[in-house]
Amino acid sequence: MRVFKSLVLLFLLPVVRGSMVQLKNGGYEDIVIAINPGLPENDNIIRNIKDMVKEASSYLFNATKQRFFFKTVKIIIPLHWLPKPEYLSIKTESYDKADVIVANPFLKYGDDPYTLQYGRCGEKGRYIHFTPDFLLNDNLYNIYGPRAKVFVHEWAHLRWGVFDEYNNDAPFYVSINSGKASVEATRCSASVTGKYIVQSTTKECKYDEQTKLYEAGCKFVPNKIQNAPASIMYMQSLPSVVEFCDQSTHNEKATNMQNKMCNYHSTWEIIMNSPDFSNTSPINSTSPPYETSFSLLQTKDRVVCLVLDVSGSMAQNNRINRLYQSAEIFLLQIVEMGSWVGMTTFQSTAQIKINLQQIVSENVRQNLIKHLPTSADGGTNICEGVRKGFEMIKQKYTNLYGSEIVLLTDGEDTCMSNCLTEVEKSGSIIHTIALGPNAAPELEQFSDVTGGLKFYATDTVDSNGLIDAFSGISSGSGNISEQSIQLESTARSVAVKQWMNGTVTVDSTVGNDTFFVVTWDGITSPLDILLRDPKGKEYRTSDFTVSVLNLRTARLNIAGTAEVGDWYYWIQNNHTDSQVISMIVTSRAASLAVPPVTVKAHMNKDTNNFPNPMVIYAEVSQGFLPVLGATVMATVEPQTGSAMDLKLLDDGSGADITKNDGIYSKYFTSFKGNGRYNLKVRVQGKDKTVRLGRRQSRALYIPGYIENGEIKMNAPRPEVSDDEIQAKLGSFNRVASGGSFVVEKVPSRGTTDVFPPCKIIDLEAQYEENKIHLSWTAPGNDFDVGQAERYIIKMSESLLDLRNIFENATSVNTSSLVPNPAGTKESFQFKPENFTIENGTIIYFAICAIDNASLTSEVSNIAQAALFLPPKESSSSSVPGDKGINVLTIVLIVAGCVAAVLIAVSTAVCILHKKNRR
């Protein structure tokens, strides 16, 4: 119970998520469903979305015992669809913050509905993905069941952080029922009936001699007509299934993610311990009190206003010059073609520098950068700057709906709260950039209430923090082919006459509109630059452009599509003093048909109180498919002190809950003080080591059904070969800003060891002859960093006893077991004592790690080792019998019988022959 209480605390952790869903009196309001801008216009998509959600509302209402339903939904219509009178304007809603995305899959990966979910048990997911074919093709009913049921299955992933109750990687497990061992399908509840069928032949499955489970290709095919009412997280397609598994129906023995991640608690227990459940009461009705209402919102051209601080403090630490360099990159390279962009500045008062201009050519971009500020003076009035930005936008548009403000400031302003309500009601999205240690602490509130992005840049020049912030403000339209992608952003101090060199890989998914930008902070004369493309063509300083308005930046725009491969650069500091030199490379998609590799980085929450740990996430994907095998490094830069580098992993241990899902993770505990922190992630993929994977948390693809005794199989799920997905990816470089987060309550006198080793979540066990072999990934001294001091391993024949009273379970002698550094694969073999191992024996194991400060980790997942000897298969050469009669015995019996008959017949013939002779 202690562990379950600590698990429930995770519900209280705010997750970085753009969702604006509200729960009022049991009704979910402001759910956003966005249609991808790449889809052709089709009114049937809208109609089927409405039908699905309306039906799902009643289904959810009954499944949650009259507690929740879907009240209001917003559907975002792509810009290129023809306008209609019923289409309203978007406000702060956008495609990249939608709760549900409707988009084509990438490659031939079929139409599995799934939820992007990589938090721990009880943490909200990112979004649900439906394909248009899933919404339009009624033939998929046999595979996934009614769309409404699928939507509720995915909503449970998204909203309550529960997991699937099937497992394609471990579809079977050994179970003991009434003292008899058997192989069961991984499912919940265990009362779902069916047969074990080889999909390709429709024959009954046989046992595998190696695994002792069913053979490869074996599928559990359910009976269409069932009595089991649970569970929605297993097989929502069955007509009888109308509930989530609860304590009475939960199958804690099943080897699924729900058991592993939620400490063997049922989905209904997790839902009951959610904030949603505690904040509502059952509704005395047999149906939802309201029918779901829908509003249709159409996107429009991007409208961006830069609101830039030019107060006196911006003259310090070279901030105004860095502002110019960073904003210039945004205007020339980042903001998309077709966008409307304007600019205001503020100090004690504010002024419009240039009204909204639509970017239709390079000339417009060049005209915009002429209005960037170059001097700073006066006080700080942030509200005046924001209001002036609103005023400029309203000169062209009747309202502020869907517009964006990029607000940069380095100063404090005690009057910010005066316009917070005005900002919240405006319908505009405000992205904030806090520059330096004294930027207003209230600044992030503007982003919080409008759904904007949050960035922080220190005065440390060699971090490129300000450039990365501006580079991270791309359109939220979902049109990734138009968005700028950062391939490189690196900077360092270079001594006199020394060189800064490096390699940037341009991969096949990008290459259009490619810029190489070199910046420096010393003298205004250009550096010595040499850039060589993969075919050996060289570009020198004379090929780069240095603006007369910005003498510390050299820019090269590669004509056409940049060559695929490694680009090498050498930059020499020809100044008389050392200076910071940086290289920034941006590009766009090479083709509308092939999505580029992208990186999205963030923390698991944007505010934190010490000593709670945080988690860094980096999602690496191409289209909607995860990219596996990349090297991912995160840099966290505190407000004071030096930056920290951490390697993020996708190995299913520590902070990473699922192996090979393209979500690279790591705990962060190195807090250097109170205040803002900045996150930056660098990703490198090498050809032949990176490949694409498949999303987790999916609606189950049903192999078939048994109806009236007849087996009716569905077509196998479409698959893509490893060779195909590996060959198309190749090598790549990416850099992404993960925005900023704030930490409070860090002790001013430094910290002691308050972080235990992380929970082990990948413990596995198996019999090997007469011994038990355990394997897991080593935790650290502080969560997944460092090295633990020792392990405690317990075993029991009762899974729940091991979970509930770990301390009282039988101990395993671990005196010879010394922990390895975090991330190392551990292996331990021993012969269990005081246990009689015979056919049908199942022993459960769990492990804890203890660090050098005697801090103990949570109890691990529970692994089972089962000794199961499958019954011998019947065949034409054997006859089943209780005594196990062998073939030789049968042959001898038959031969004896035949001989006896022959003797009897011969005797009779002889007697008759003698009688006849007489």
Distance between CA 318 and CA 461 in Å, rounded? 9
Name 760's Cβ contacts closer than 8 Å, sequence gap at least 6: 653, 776, 777, 779, 847, 849, 857, 860, 861
- 881 is written with which tokens? 């019998």
What is the CA angle 51-57-63, rounded to 5?
135
What DSSP character marks residue 757? Answer: B
The DSSP code sequence of 241-304 is: --B---TTT--TTS-SHHHHHTTT--HHHHHHTSHHHHT----SSSS-SS--EEEEEE----EE
Residue with tokens 């505009």: 428
Q: Radius of gyration over alpha carbons of the chain, in Å? A: 32
Two tokens, residue 535: 């075919």
Q: Which residue has the tokens 């080591």?
A: 689
In whole angstroms, what is the distance from residue 66 CA to residue 27 CA? Answer: 11
154 is catalytic: yes
- The rounded distance, in Å, linking the Cα atoms of 335 and 513 is 12
Spatial distance between the Cα atoms of 306 and 407, rounded to a whole number of angstroms? 6
The C-alpha torsion from 548 through 553 and 557 to 563, rounded to 10°, is 160
Query: What are the strands, taking DSSP E only, across 394-498?
Result: 404-409, 429-435, 454-457, 485-494
Phi, psi of 806 (to 5 degrees): -55, -40
CA dihedral 370, 372, 376, 380 (to 10 degrees): 140
3-state SS class at 917: helix
Rounded CA-CA distance 246/205 in Å is 31
Contacts of 127 by beta carbon, 8 Å cutoff, 6+ apart: 98, 99, 100, 101, 115, 116, 158
Burial code (b: 16+ CB inside 10 Å, e: under 16) for 632-648 equals bbbbbbbbeeebeebeb
Token representation of residue 159: 């909203």
Q: Which helix (H) or strand (E) holds 153?
A: helix 147-155
| Distance between CA atoms of residues 416 and 144, nearest Å | 51
Nearest to 441 by CA among 461, 429, 456, 425: 456
Contact 248, 713 (CB under 8 A): no
Count of C-beta atoms within a 10 Å radius of residue 500: 22
872 backbone dihedrals φ, ψ, rounded to 5°:
-65, 145
CA distances from 302 to 75, 260, 299 (A): 18, 44, 9
* Other residues' Cβ atoms within 10 Å of the Cβ of residue 794: 22
**Other CB atoms within 10 Å distance of the CB of residue 811:** 11
Q: Which of 154, 165, 336, 482 is catalytic?
A: 154
* Residue 866, token pair as written in the block: 């089962």
Residue 915 in tokens? 């009688």
Q: Annotated catalytic sites, by residue?
A: 154
